[in-house]
Structure 1
């Protein structure tokens, strides 16, 4: 009875700890959940660096939502070890696996990049 009360009272924390165990065993879905929990501070102290770590772990296994979250983290400067090309690769992985937000963001990144590229000036005689 006491354990049920504890689970009810601390369900966010309990859920985090269960997901964390599975994440450490390498389950990409659990790694995504742990990353989301760290990002939002749900059941654990908010830590964007740890969130990006867990998103990176899940992304390495091809988890589309983790790839998307990692790309967004880079665009928001939450992780500093990636290039813009890396963001596009991550968004491509997520978009190919059906993450609609990734497709839309990828289109915006490509459009923005194309607008920022220098264009050749044409001479007018």
Structure 2
């Protein structure tokens, strides 16, 4: 079973994302900020990270930069999931090492589509 780390400071968003991902046969872990997420990745590197941008302690952009410097940190597929929708934010996220970008609010179809595009899921 593939694993996904859901990183968002909103407990509600984490729970919604977890439900969607578990329906897509992912095992999920959760983190409330980038530092918790980095610590979790150091313990067990996930197959995917669903990542919020705006969080306390360490934001999503700083997290993805730090993740990519970790041993095996180049392996997880990182999908930003945020309300930041201007092209400069999207470009900055992709340059920092993100693989894809999803706008909030999201649903299961959007997550499934992005995970298929990145190769995490087979197209149905």
TM over 0.5: no
Higher helix fraction: Structure 1 or Structure 2? Answer: 1
**Normalising by the residue count of structure 1, what TM-score does the alignment of the two structures yield?**
0.30
Greater share of strand residues, 1 or 2?
A: 2
Kindly indicate whether structure 1 or structure 2 has the higher relative contact order, using CA contacts under 8 Å at least 6 residues apart. 2
State the TM-score, normalized to the length of structure 2. Answer: 0.30
Q: Which protein shows a greater Rg? A: 1
